[in-house]
Amino acid sequence: MRTQIFAAVMALVLLVAGPAMADTIKFGVLSDLSGPTSSVGVPYAKGVQDCVKHLNDTKFLGEHTLQALQVDYAYNVQQALSAYKKFKTEGIVALQGWGTADTEALTRFVAQDKIPCFSASYSAHLTNPQNAPYNFIVVADYTTNLRGILKYFKDKWTEERAPKLAFIYPDHPYGLTPLEGGKAYAKELGYELVGDEHVDLKAMDATSQLLTLQGKAPDFCWIGGTTPTTSVILKDAQKLKMKTVFFTNIWGVDEDLIKLAGDAAEGTYTVQGGSTGYDDTPGNKIILALTGGEIPMTHYYRGFASTYVMAELIRRALEKGALTGEAVKNEAEAMRDFDPLGLTPPVSYFPDDHRPTMTSFIYKIEDGKLVKKGTEVLERKAEWLGK
User: Site mask, another protein, residues 326-365, x = CB under 8 A?
Assistant: ----------------------------------------
Shortest reach from residue 134's CB to another protein, in Å? 13
- Residue in 359, 384, 376 with CA at minimum distance from that of residue 140: 359
Give me the 107-146 binding string for another protein, x by CB under 8 A, dash otherwise: xxx--x----------x-x-----x---------------
CA distance 53 to 300: 14
Binding test (CB under 8 A) with another protein, winner from 40, 47, 72, 286? 72
Task: Pick between residue 101 and residue 347 the one whose CB is nearest to another protein.
Answer: 101
Q: Please check whether residue 181 is in contact with residue 143, taking contact to mean a CB–CB distance below 8 angstroms.
A: yes
Q: How far apart are CA 150 and CA 290, in angstroms?
A: 36
- Cβ density class 269-307: b for 16+ within 10 Å, e for less: bbbbbbbbbebebebbebbeebeeeebbbbbbbbbbbbb
Should residue 22 be labelled a site residue for another protein when binding is judged by CB under 8 A?
A: no
Query: Is position 319 an interface residue for another protein (rule: CB under 8 A)?
Result: no
**For another protein, the closer CB: 52 or 305:** 52
| Stretch touching another protein by CB under 8 A, among 20-28, 172-180, 250-258, 361-369 | 172-180
If binding is defined by CB under 8 A, does position 320 make contact with another protein?
no
Q: Is 83 in the site for another protein (CB under 8 A)?
A: yes
- Does position 76 bind another protein by CB under 8 A? yes
Residues that bind another protein (CB under 8 A): 33-35, 71-72, 74, 76-79, 81-83, 85-86, 88-89, 100-101, 104-109, 112, 123, 125, 131, 171-174, 176-177
